[in-house]
Amino acid sequence: MAHINLHPAINHGFKPTDENFSGGTLKCHCARHPVEVIVQAQTMHNHACGCSKCWKPAGATFAIIAVVPREKVSVIANPEKIKIVDESATIQRHACKECGVHMYGRIENKDHAFHGLDFVHTELSEQSGWSAPAFAAFVSSIIESGAPVSQMNEVRSSLNKLGLETYDCLSPALMDVLAAHTAKQKGTYHA
């Protein structure tokens, strides 16, 4: 782990979830007039994500991302600085035009299993107590962003040592949710 920067928020371990925590404010990296987003609930399903689309701080191999009901997410300062990174993506990432930080990701497709949940990076908040990461997803995808193939064993074992199971898609619980949603749409669902 010495020479792999997984993510500053987990490289040296992390605090457990504060069960009494109920939200906070996310700020972009701009020194002046930062975009501010209030999240009025504890987050769920926080995890390290190796996909190429999630925002990562400089030098980090993984993003840390959680979800929260979209109605709990509101922009409270400098909304004019926000742009959507890719309108055609399933998750529309609302980012600061100036510093590039992603403030929240939103799914507008009402037929998607995760519609109603926004994706947020709680490292952008000064508060502590947010849900702790519980697994690492899309681990193999870091290769696509330039991570050396020869380091993959070390990356997976470093994540495991932090208590994070590693998956090359999402976790089994979330993959089952996605498959169940598809089954309902196809008419093949069985409880």
54 is a catalytic site residue: yes
- Shortest separation between residue 111's beta carbon and a second copy, angstroms: 15
- Complex with a second copy: residue 12 or 186, whichever CB lies closer: 186
169 is a catalytic site residue: no
Task: Output the six-digit token pair for 24.
Answer: 């906070």
Only one of the segments 2-10, 41-49, 72-80, 149-157 lies at the binding site for a second copy (rule: CB under 8 A); that segment is 149-157
Catalytic residue among 49, 63, 73, 95: 49
Distance of CA 189 to the CA centre of its chain: 28
Q: Give the three-state DSSP class for 176.
A: helix
Does 99 bind a second copy (CB under 8 A)? Our answer is no
- Complex with a second copy: residue 75 or 180, whichever CB lies closer: 180
| Residue 30 among known ligand-binding residues | yes
Going from the C-alpha of 97 to that of each of 27, 32, 52, 92, 104, the distances in angstroms are 13, 13, 19, 14, 13
Torsion-angle region of residue 13: left (phi > 0), alpha (psi -120 to 50) or beta?
Answer: left
- Shortest separation between residue 160's beta carbon and a second copy, angstroms: 12
Q: Which helix (H) or strand (E) holds 178?
A: helix 172-186
- Shortest separation between residue 137's beta carbon and a second copy, angstroms: 10
Cα of first residue to Cα of last residue in the chain, in angstroms, is: 42
Nearest Cα residue to 82 out of 97, 71, 69, 104: 97
Residue from 41, 84, 152, 162 that binds a second copy (CB under 8 A)? Answer: 152
| Residue list for the binding site | 28, 30, 49, 51, 54, 96, 99
Binding footprint of a second copy on the chain (CB under 8 A): 139-150, 152, 156, 166-170, 172, 175-176, 178-180, 182-183, 186, 188-191
